Amino acid sequence: MNGRPAETGQRVRPGDKIVVDGRDVTKRLAHEQALQVIVYHKPSGEMLRRQEGDERAGVEAKLPSLRSGRWLSINALGFGEDGLLVFSNDGPFVSSVTRQAATIPVEYRVRALRPRQSADWPAIPLEVDVDDGHATFSAVDRLEGGTTNTWFRVAAERSLPRGAIRALFDAAGLKVSRTMLVKWGPVTLPRDLPRGRSRALAGEELDALLLLGGATRSSAREK
Give CA–CA dist 152/150, Å, rounded: 7
Q: Residue 113: beta bridge partners?
A: 149, 175
- 42: amino acid identity, one letter: K
Q: Each residue of 140-196: pLDDT tens digit?
A: 998 876 667 889 999 999 888 878 999 999 988 888 988 999 999 999 999 999 999
pTM comes to: 0.78
Q: Each residue of 68-113: pLDDT tens digit?
A: 788 999 999 888 889 999 999 999 999 999 998 888 999 999 998 8
Beta pairing, strands 139-142 & 133-136: unpaired
